[in-house]
Structure formats: C-alpha cells, structure tokens
C-alpha cells in the first residue's frame, strides 16, 4: 500500500494548529483572580505574549484576549500577524490612524465609553469639556471611523470588534510612554537657546545654578542645611545635599520611579524648582540639565538605602538600583554638560561669588566648594 505523505503532513499540520488553538483557549478561560471581581467595570485583559513562529523565516506575532465589559465577557480567538505583513503595512494609512487617535480628548472618550456606555452630556461632565460643541466634533469623527457606536437611548460605546485592537494599542503605548520624555529631551537640546536667553555661547554655570536651586528649595521646605559643590577633572560637577532625597516610589499606574520622572519630564509642573536664566523664555529644571548633559548620575539616600541611576543625553542607562545602605538622607547629582553645547569649563571664582550670594540669602545653609581636579 502506497502512503500519501503529503496528505499525512497536511493532516498533522491541521492537528497542530487545532492543538495550538486549544492551548490558547485554555489560557484565556482561566478564571481571573478574586481582586478583579470587585467591580463589573474593571477590565481584565489576558493577552498572550508576542512570539515568533519557528515555521516562518521572519516570524509572526500572535495575540488574543479576553475582557469583561459592560457585564459581558468578550473573547477573541488567537490571531496572527506575520512579520512581512507588519513591515509591508501602508505607513501613510497607519500614520493617519495613529494621528486620529493621538488626540487626547478622543482617547479620553474611547477610554470612558469602554468602561460603560455614556451619553453626550455624561461625557462632557466626566471629561470636563465645558461645552458639547467640541465633544460632538470628536464624536462625529469617531463614529465615522467605526470606533464608536450609538446604542439605543443615545449612549455611545466602543464596538466589540474594536475593543481588542484598542486595548493592544494602549498596551503598546504603555511600553513606549517613556519615549515621549526622551523625544522632548531631544527637542530641548535642539532648542537650548530658549533656556539661556541667547542663541549661542551658553553659560555652563546656569546648569549648575539650576541643580543647586533644587537643594535650596529643599532647604526652604524645612529639610537639609548642607550643600556641596565638587568640580572634577573630567569637566563634570557634583552637587550634593542632606535633604530628604528625591522620592523613589513608582508613579501611580506605572513602574516608573518618581525620581526618573523628575529627571526626564521637562514639562513637570513643579515650576518653583526651575532656575530662570536672565532673558530666557523657559526655566531650567533638573530634567533640562539632564537633557543638556553628556552624562548624569543621580544618587539618592533615603529609606535606609542608597539608590543610583545613570543617564546619557537624558536617557536612562540603568534602572533605579539599590547600591548600598545608609542612615543618611539626601541627593547627589553628578553631570557633565554636553561639550557640543558648552565650550567653556566651570569657573571656581564664579562659583565662589555665587556662594556669597547664597550665604546672604540663606544664612541657614552651609555651602562647601571643592575643586577635586587640583
């Protein structure tokens, strides 16, 4: 009897595909934890990690999901996007989609109606839009793009078949959130003149005054009475204080430490910690100093630990690591200004002059200056 090997291979391939789908289905049908049952509006996403299929030369991305929305369990069967499909995607159309969803108010609308269907009046109230005019402008666009549906009673909701793609988009955005800070840091370097009141010949000392200003602010808040400035042979400088230390806990709904946000968010609202150079349009925060530095290292002493993180051109090179134990508190920042932006070096005489001014304004501060290069 002659065997049909081609037919047998096809059967085996189909059986493997069915087995794979059953495995994914079993994963998705696993019961959620008890904490997730506290609210019927809380979303529970069970997505499989991206993986590459060995049978494909370039690989594939598989995804599936399950979510509890508006009292219903919605489940999507495993789907595949081959790498060649993703890389051959029409970038013009993809850019239009991302641009359309890139509007903050549209994202807020979609997130709000995903939790529960809402009327126009309820959306205006929840999103603090003030008027219905701008709301209906966005609603019209989202309805036309099949990203919203209007249910009986006039309430708006996210179509079921759009829920998983939208959640995957939010997941990807969550993984890329920090890049928004890094892009802004690049823009800060490209527009450094706004922070110095001149288009060239930037004063390197303005960066130093900005970091010292943070330690002074800590003192005026009732914490810390010692500040040290140490000049190094490689052109870098360290500013240290004995304040509370920059907070190290993670931001709400994030794994990013507060300290990293302080050092990377150039638009941080705490404007009182900004140093304004004469004639400048914008104040210099410690995040701006980070953006304009070739490299920066922060060391934080608090909660019995010593934390350290390193940056290059404002981008973290490490996480916020625990590198020791201590009973002291405070923050030390070591940075080397970008040589392409700052041609001069720190002048010890100018720093001593600044010390006199600080001593006059803040007699409770003990300021130490050392040139370790000598």
- pLDDT tens-digit series, residues 286-296: 999 999 999 99
**Statement: residue 32 has pLDDT above 50:** no
CB 78 within 8 Å of CB 20: yes
pLDDT, position 330: 97
pLDDT, position 235: 95
CB 332 within 8 Å of CB 298: yes
DSSP state letter for 255: S
Q: Tell me how far apart the alpha carbons of residues 286 and 281 are, in angstroms, rounded to a whole number.
A: 16
Q: What is the mean pLDDT of residues 319-329?
A: 96
**Statement: residue 120 has pLDDT above 80:** yes
Helix (H, G, I), strand (E, B) or coil at 20: helix
Length of the chain: 374
CB 40 within 8 Å of CB 68: yes
Q: What is the mean pLDDT of residues 17-45?
A: 50
The stretches of 176-302 forming alpha helices (DSSP H) are 177-190, 205-220, 258-264, 286-291
Q: Which helix (H) or strand (E) holds 337?
A: strand 330-337
The hierarchical CATH code for the domain 5-176 is 1.10.10.10
Strand pairing category for 60-69 and 305-312: unpaired
- The backbone torsions φ and ψ at residue 80, rounded to the nearest 5 degrees and listed phi first, read -125, 140
Q: Tell me how far apart the alpha carbons of residues 353 and 209 are, in angstroms, rounded to a whole number.
A: 12
**Statement: residue 1 has pLDDT above 60:** no
Q: Tell me how far apart the alpha carbons of residues 288 and 203 are, in angstroms, rounded to a whole number.
A: 14
**Statement: residue 226 has pLDDT above 80:** yes
pLDDT band, very low/low/confident/very high, at 204 (cuts 50, 70, 90): very high
Q: Tell me how far apart the alpha carbons of residues 222 and 243 are, in angstroms, rounded to a whole number.
A: 9
pLDDT, position 271: 45
DSSP codes, 70-136: TTEEEEEEEEEEEHHHHHTS-HHHHHHHHHHHT-HHHHHHHHHHHHS-B-HHHHHHHTT-SSHHHHH
**Statement: residue 302 has pLDDT above 70:** yes
Q: What angle do CA 274, 363, 272 make, to 5 degrees?
A: 15
Q: Tell me how far apart the alpha carbons of residues 292 and 274 are, in angstroms, rounded to a whole number.
A: 15
**In angstroms, what is the C-alpha Rg of the chain?**
28
- pLDDT tens-digit series, residues 343-372: 899 999 999 999 999 999 999 999 999 998
Q: Tell me how far apart the alpha carbons of residues 42 and 69 are, in angstroms, rounded to a whole number.
A: 8
CB 120 within 8 Å of CB 139: yes
pLDDT, position 340: 92
DSSP state letter for 35: G
pTM of the complete model beyond 0.85:
no
- The backbone torsions φ and ψ at residue 322, rounded to the nearest 5 degrees and listed phi first, read -85, 120
- pLDDT tens-digit series, residues 83-103: 888 888 888 888 888 877 878
| 179-371: CATH topology | Heat Shock Protein 90 (3.30.565)
Q: What is the mean pLDDT of residues 30-51?
A: 41
């Amino acid at each position: 009897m002659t065997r049909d090997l081609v037919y047998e291979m096809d059967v085996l391939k189909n059986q493997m595909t069915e087995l794979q789908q059953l495995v994914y289905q079993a994963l998705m049908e696993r019961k959620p934890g008890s904490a997730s049952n506290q609210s019927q509006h809380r979303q529970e996403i069970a997505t499989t990690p991206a993986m590459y299929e060995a049978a494909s030369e370039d690989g594939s991305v598989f995804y599936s999901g399950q979510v509890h929305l508006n009292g219903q369990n919605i489940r999507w069967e495993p789907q595949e996007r081959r790498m060649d499909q993703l890389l051959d995607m029409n970038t013009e159309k993809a850019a239009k989609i991302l641009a359309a969803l890139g509007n903050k108010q549209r994202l807020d609308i979609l997130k709000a109606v995903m939790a529960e269907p809402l009327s126009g009046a309820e959306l205006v109230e929840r999103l603090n839009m003030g008027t219905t005019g701008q709301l209906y402008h966005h609603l019209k666009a989202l309805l036309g793009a099949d990203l919203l549906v209007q249910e009986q009673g006039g309430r708006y909701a996210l179509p079921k078949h759009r829920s998983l793609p939208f959640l995957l988009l939010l997941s990807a955005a969550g993984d890329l959130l920090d890049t928004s800070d890094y892009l802004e840091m690049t823009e800060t370097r490209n527009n450094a003149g706004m922070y110095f009141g001149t288009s060239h010949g930037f004063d390197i000392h303005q960066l130093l005054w900005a970091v010292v200003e943070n330690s002074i602010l800590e003192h005026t808040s009732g914490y810390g009475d010692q500040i040290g400035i140490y000049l190094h042979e490689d052109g870098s400088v360290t500013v240290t204080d004995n304040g509370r230390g920059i907070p190290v806990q993670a931001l709400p709904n994030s794994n990013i430490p507060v300290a990293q946000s302080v050092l990377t968010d150039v638009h941080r609202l705490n404007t009182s910690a900004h140093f304004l150079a004469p004639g400048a349009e914008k104040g210099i925060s410690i995040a701006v100093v980070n953006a304009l530095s070739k490299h920066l290292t922060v060391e934080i002493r608090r909660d019995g630990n010593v934390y350290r993180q390193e940056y290059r051109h404002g981008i973290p090179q490490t996480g916020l690591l625990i590198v020791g134990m201590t009973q002291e508190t405070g923050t030390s920042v070591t940075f080397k200004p970008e040589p392409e932006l700052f041609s001069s070096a720190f002048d010890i005489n100018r720093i001593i002059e600044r010390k006199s001014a600080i001593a006059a304004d803040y007699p409770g501060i003990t300021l130490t200056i050392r040139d370790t290069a000598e």
